[in-house]
Amino acid sequence: MTMQLCDTPAHELSILLRKKKISAKEIVESCLERVAAVDGRPGSLDPGENSSQDNQSVHAMITLTAEKALAQAKGLDDKVARGEPLGSLAGVPFTVKDIFCVKDTLTTAASRMLANFRAPYTATTVERMLAQDGLMIGKVNLDEYTFGSSNESTAFQPAPRNPWDTNRVPGGSSGGSAASVAAGEAAISLGTDTAGSIRQPAAFCGVVGIKPTYGRVSRYGLIAFASSLDCPGPLARNVTDAAMLLKAIAGPDRQDATAVTKAVPDYVGVLDQGVKGLRIGLSEDYFKIVYMDAETGEMLQKPVPDEVRAAVYHAAEILKAQGAEIIEDVPMPNTRYAIPAFFVISRVEAASNLHRFDGAKYGYRTAQPKRDLREMYQATRNEAFGLQPKLRILMGMYVSAAQYSEQYYSRALKVRTLIRRDFENVFDPGSSYHLDALLTPTTPTTAFEMGAVYGDSVLMQYADQFTVTANHAGIPGMTFPAGLGADGLPLGVQLLGPDFSEPILLRMGRVFEEGTQAEAWRLQKPQVLRGLA
Amino acid sequence: MSEYELVIGLETHIQLNTVTKIFCACKADSWEMEPNTNICPVCAGLPGVLPVLNEEVLRKGVLLAYAMHSEIRNVSFFDRKNYFYPDLPKGYQITQYDMSLGNGGYMDLFIPEDAGATRRVSITKLHLEEDAGKTKNAGSERLIDFNRCGVPLIEMVTGPDLRSAAEAAQYLTRLRQLLRWLGVSEADMEKGHLRCDANVSIRPVGSTQLFTKTEIKNVNSIENVRSAIELEYERQVREVEAGNRIQAWTLDWDDEKNELKKMRSKETEADYRYFREPDLLPVRLSDEWIQAVLADFPELPLHRKQRFLTDYHLTEYDADLLTTDRQLSEYFESAVKVYGGDPKKIANYLMNDVLRMLNESGKSAADTRLTPQYLADIVKMADAGKINASTAKNLLVKVEASGQAPNEIVAAEGLGQVRDDAAIRAVVEKVIAGNPKEVEAYRAGKESLIGWFTGQVMREMRGKADPKLAQEILKEILGS
C-alpha cells in the first residue's frame, strides 16, 4: 500500500503544500475518502442495533464538516496560488473532540443535552488552529461530557472502536480523537485530558498524546468537566506533529484567567537536541495499580503485566543509549491516592459545571408539559443526561454538601497537594533525584474489550491511575507508542516532567521514535487499514 | 410597647459603577436597555466560557473596604455558590465566601436621640460578587433578562447592631454618601445600585439575647426601609404580646401599598455547596498595589465636617450641608482659598444660591461653569462695592449660563454699581418730580415712604445704584 495523503505526517503535508506538490483540496479529499472507507456511520441519538458492518467500523465522527473543510481547502489553495504567507498548520487536516465550541457548528459534548446546540463562538484552541491554516475535517466522538475512559458512554452511538481491533475500545474520553488519527481520518486531533483522557486513548490507539502543563493551553470554549484539571492538548501519529499542534495552540489568552503568560517555546525547533545528560526516573509506584476492594474497602494491589513493564524498560534502554541517565526506584508514595482524590475533586467540579444545563436557555428541554420550573429542570436533566453525568452529579453533590465537604472535598484537596509534592521532591533541581522526567507506563493494560468494563465506573477509573497524577499536579505528561502487546494492541509509555517541561519531554519522545524506527512493530498497521488498497 | 428593643442588621448589595461587567467586556450599566441586548457568551453562561476578573472591581472594593475600616486581605478567593434559578445562567454565582476581600470593619453612627453619642455598627461580611439577571412573570410565562448578569456587586452585611429604624435609615444615608464620596457606586436605591434587606427582631429592653428574626426584602428607598422596620417592629410586638412566637419569615415590601407581605417561611438554610472557583486565580494584592490604590484616598465626610467646623468656624448645620457631597465640599474649599475673606460668606452664597442653581440644573458642583474662582470674584466685587447684592446674585446665574468671567459680564453689561453723586441726584430729582403725592405725604411726616422712594430710584437705574447713597440723597432733597 502506497502512502496516501491522509496517512502522511502533518509536517510533511505542510511542506508538500508549500512546495505546491499537492493541494489542500487533495488532502481534504483523501481524508474524506478514508472516513468513507473506515468510519462507518456517524454517531447519532437513535442508532438502533449495531450491524456487523458497524462492529467493524471506527465511528470516530459525530459531525463530519466536509463542506466546510472543502471550502477552507479552496481558500487555502487560493492563498498558496497568490503566494501569501501560510500558517504553521497549513494543509494539516485535523479533527476536534466535540467538547470544544466551534461557531455555527454542532457542539454536542456527546450528550443528548446538547445534541442540537450550535455554539455562537469558537474555542480559543480551535480558533488558533484555523488561524494557522489547519483544515477541520470534523468533530469527533467522546465519552458523554468527557466522563469516561472507553468512549462507550457517548449518547451518540455506535461508539467509536479501536482501529487496531474493532472489538476493543479506543479508550476515552478522547476516543474519537485517538481513533480518527490512528485510522488516518486526519493527521492530528485536539483532545482534552482531565485524568488521562488524551494519553489513555492515545496509548490504546498507538498514537502520541500530550497533556500540557495546566494553563499552557487556554480552556476557553472547552465545555468544562473539572475545571481545575482539564487540559486541552494534541493527539498525533508522531512526536513532531504533536509538537506542531502544541505550538499552535499554546500561549496566553485574555479569555482564560488560568492561561499562563509565559512565552511559548519552539517545540518543533528543539526536537533534535537529544537527551544527553538528562535524568529519567523509574518508579515502582507506577508499576502496580492500587485499588480498593468494593466490598471490604481493603486496599489491594496488582503489578502491571510484564509486557507493560518491559515496554517501559525498553524505552529506558533506548534513551540511555542516547546519553540519558536512568534512575530507578524513585519513590512516588502518594500515587495510590490519586484515583480516590480525583473521584472527589472532579465530581464536585463536574456537578457544578453541569448546573447550567437546565433546559431554560439552550440545548434539550423536556417535551412534557410541566407545572413548574423545578419539574421542568428535573424532567429535562433526567431525560437528557446519560448515566455518567448522573453518577457524577450524585457523587459531586454528596461530597460537597456542607456536612461532608470537610471529610471528602477538603481531604481530597490535601491529597492533591501531597501528590504535587511527590513530583516536586524528585523534579526539584536541588533534590537528590533532580529528575528531568519520570518514565512510566501510560496505562496498566492494552485496550480492553468493548463492554468489558463499562458500567463499573470505579474499575474504569483505575485505567487512569498512572495518568491522573499529572492532572492533580498540573504538570505535563506525554504518551508515545512503544510497541505492541501479545494481543497485537499498542502499548503506550508515558513521560511526566516538571511544569513547562514540554520541550524536554518532546525531545525524549523524538529520541525514542528515532531509536526504534527499525523495530518490527513499527511496520504494523491498525486492523482497519490493513485491507485498504 | 416601649419595653421592647429593636435589633436590626442590614444586608446591602452595592452595584459598583465600573465601565464593564465583573467578568466580561459588556457594559456594566444597562439601565433602560432592551432585555438581553447587553450580553455576551460569558455573562450569559454559555457552555465553555470562562470569567476574567475586571481589575477595576478590585480597586473599588479596596476603597470601600478601607473606608469601612475593614482589613484588606492580601490573598482572597472567589467561590461558587451553587443553586438553580433561571436568571442565574451558570447555575452558580461567582462570589467570595470564607476568604473575601474585606475582613471585618465598622461604621460609627451618631445616635440621633442622644447628641454626642455614637453607635459602632460592625461589618461582618464585605465581599465581591457578580449580579444575577432579572426574572419577570408575564401570565403563564416567565421572562428572563440577562442584561444585569455579571454586574459587579459588593455585598456588605452589618452585625445586629442597629437599635432603631432611624439608625437603620442613618446607616443607609451615611453609606450612600460614602459610596458616592468614594466614587465607587451611583448608590441610587431606586435604580437598584444600592439594595437593602433588613433583618429585624425584638427583645425585652436589657436582654442581650438574639431572638428569631424576620428578613425584609425588596425595599427601594431609605424612607421605606425606615417605614418597613417600624411596621415590622409593631407587628412583632403585637405577636409577642398576644403570646405568639415570631416565625422566621421572609417579608416582601409592597411599594404601592406601603405594607409587608409574607413571601415564604424559612425552614432550613439552603446548602449552596460553596467551593473555590477553579476558573479564577486567587486574588493576590501586594501592599504596594493597595497603597497605590489608596494613594489619593479622600478625606471622609465626617472628618471633613469636623475640619470645616474648626478651620472655617462654620455652624454645625452649614458644615453638615457642605459635606453631604464630596464635590460640593471641594468646591467650597477652593472658593474659600481664592476668596481669602470670611468663609461664612462663601458658605452663604453656596447654600442660598449656588445649591439651588445646581439642583435646578441637575449638575454637580464639579461640572458647573461657575467655577470656585468666579464665585470668589463675584463675592469680592460685592465686598468692594463694585456691584450690589442683587447684581451679585444675578451674576451667578449669568456666569453659569454663559461660562463668561464675571468681570467681563459686568463690564459688557454695565452692571457696575453707580456711586456717582450727580447721576443718582439726577434720577432722584426725576422721581420726586414724578410723584408729588408721595412727596407731600413724606413731608407731612410719613417717613416710612423713604424705602418706596429708594426702590423707585433703584428701578430707574436698573439696580445699579448704590442703595445707601441713593437714600442719603433722597433724604437730603426731600428734607429740604
Instruction: Show the 3-state SS of A205-258.
Output: HCCEEEECCCCCECCCCECCCCCCCCEEEEEECCHHHHHHHHHHHECCCCCCCC
Rounded to the nearest angstrom, the minimum Cα separation between A230 and chain B is 10
B-facing residues of A in 388-447 (CB < 8 A) are 397, 400-402, 405, 409
C-alpha cell at A354: 453541569
- Show Cβ contacts of residue B459 under 8 Å, excluding neighbours closer than 6 positions: none
Q: Which residues contact A119 (CB under 8 A, 6 or more apart)?
A: A101, A102, A103, A104, A105, A107, A221, B46, B47, B48
Whether B194 maps to a domain, the answer reads yes
A416 CA: distance to closest CA in chain B (Å): 14
Q: Is the per-residue pLDDT at A492 higher than 50? A: yes
b/e map B7-46, b = 16+ CB within 10 Å: bbbbbbbbbbbbebbbbbebebbbeeeebeebbbbbbbbb
Domain assignment present for B66: yes
Specify whether B283 is located in the same domain as B325.
no
Task: Look at residue A135 and tell me if it is in a domain.
Answer: yes
CB contact under 8 A, A119 and B142: no
| B349 and B431 housed in the same domain | no
> What was the pLDDT predicted at B470?
84
Q: What is the share, in percent, of chain A residues with pLDDT greater than 70? A: 98
What are the residue numbers of the active site of A? Answer: 97, 173, 197
Question: What is the per-residue pLDDT for A1?
Answer: 45
**Cβ contact (<8 Å) for B50 and A220?**
yes
Residues 6+ apart with CB under 8 A from A438: A280, A281, A282, A283, A286, A330, A332, A423, A426, A495, A496, A497
8 Å CB contact of B273 and A401: yes
Q: Do the domain assignments include residue A355?
A: no
**B409, B425: one domain:** no
Count of domains forming chain B: 3
B402 and B426 share one domain: no
Q: Which residues pair with A299 in a beta bridge?
A: A292
Q: Is residue B442 part of a domain?
A: yes
Distance from CA of A258 to the nearest CA of B (A): 6
Residue A345 lies in a domain: no
Q: Give A262 to chain B, closest Cα distance, Å.
A: 16
On whether both B326 and B360 belong to a single domain, the answer is yes
CATH number, domain of A214, equals: 3.90.1300.10
Residues B103, B233 share a domain:
yes
Domain boundary among B385, B413, B441: B413
**Of B397 and A11, more confident:** A11
Give A457's pLDDT tier (boundaries 50, 70, 90).
Answer: low
Q: Show the domain range for B343.
A: 301-413
Element (H, E) at B118: strand B118-130
Q: Does residue B295 form part of some domain?
A: no
- Please tell me which of the candidates A107, A121, A377 has its beta carbon nearest to residue B84: A377
In a domain, A450, yes or no: no
Q: What is the pLDDT of residue B268?
A: 66
User: Contact B144/A228, CB-based, under 8 Å?
Assistant: no
State mean pLDDT over A332-348.
95
Are B360 and B431 in the same domain?
no
Provide, as residue numbers in chain A, all residues whose Cβ is less than 8 Å from the Cβ of B275.
Answer: 348-349, 352, 400, 405, 409
Q: Do A348 and B275 touch (CB under 8 A)?
A: yes
Residue A158 belongs to domain spanning: 5-269+519-530
Helices (H), ranges, A98-192 = 124-131, 175-182
B20 lies in some domain:
yes
| CATH code of residue B453 | 1.10.10.410
Count structural domains, chain A. 1
Which residues in chain A are contacts of B91 at CB distance < 8 A? 352, 354-358
What angle is formed at CA B338 by the lines to CA B335 and CA B339, rounded to 5 degrees? 80
In a domain, A349, yes or no: no
In tens, the pLDDT along A59-114 reads 999 999 999 999 999 999 999 999 999 999 999 999 999 999 999 999 999 999 99
- Is residue B296 in a domain? no
Residues of A in contact with B47 (CB under 8 A): 101, 107, 109, 114, 117, 119, 223, 356-357, 362
Nearest to A255 among B50, B144, B273 (CB): B50
Size of interface A-B (CB pairs under 8 A): 101
What distance lies between CA A170 and its chain's CA centroid?
Answer: 11
Residues B113 and B249 in one domain: yes
**Cβ neighbours of B95 in A, within 8 Å:** none
- Single out the residue in B240, B270, B290 at which a domain terminates: B290
- Answer yes or no: do B373 and B266 share one domain: no
Q: What is the pLDDT of residue A489?
A: 98
Residues A497-528 pLDDT 10s: 999 999 999 999 999 999 999 999 999 999 99
The last residue of one of the domains, among B226, B256, B290, is B290
**pLDDT for residue A14:** 97
Co-location of B225 and B274 in the same domain: yes
Q: A169, A68 in Cβ contact below 8 A?
A: no
| C-alpha cell belonging to residue A359 | 433546559
Rounded CA-CA distance B282/B297 in Å is 25
Q: Are residues B284 and B346 in the same domain?
A: no
Rounded to the nearest 5 percent, the helix, strand and coil shares of chain B are 40, 20, 40
* Chain A residues with beta carbon closer than 8 angstroms to that of B41: 120-121
- Residues in B touching A228 (Cβ below 8 Å): 278
Closest residue of chain A to B146, computed from CA coordinates:
A361
What does the DSSP assignment read for B133-180? -EEEEETTEEEEE-TTTT-EEEEEEE-S-B-SHHHHHHHHHHHHHHHH
| Stretch (H or E) spanning B203 | strand B194-204
Contact between B465 and B427 under an 8 Å Cβ cutoff? The reply is yes
Whether A379 is in a domain gets the answer: no
Query: Does residue A10 fall inside a structural domain?
Result: yes
pLDDT at position A120: 96
Which residue stretches of chain B have pLDDT < 50?
Answer: 1
| Partner-chain residue, chosen from A119, A352, A357, that has the shortest CB–CB distance to B80 | A352
Measure the CA–CA gap between A326 and A282, rounded to whole angstroms.
Answer: 7
Residue B60 is assigned to a structural domain of this protein: yes
Kindly state whether residues B383 and B455 are assigned to the same domain. no
Q: B7 - beta bridge partners?
A: B201
Q: Residue A449 falls within a domain, yes or no?
A: no
Does residue B23 contact residue B223 with C-beta atoms inside 8 Å?
A: no
Q: What is the mean pLDDT of chain A?
A: 96
- Is residue B157 included in any domain, yes or no? yes
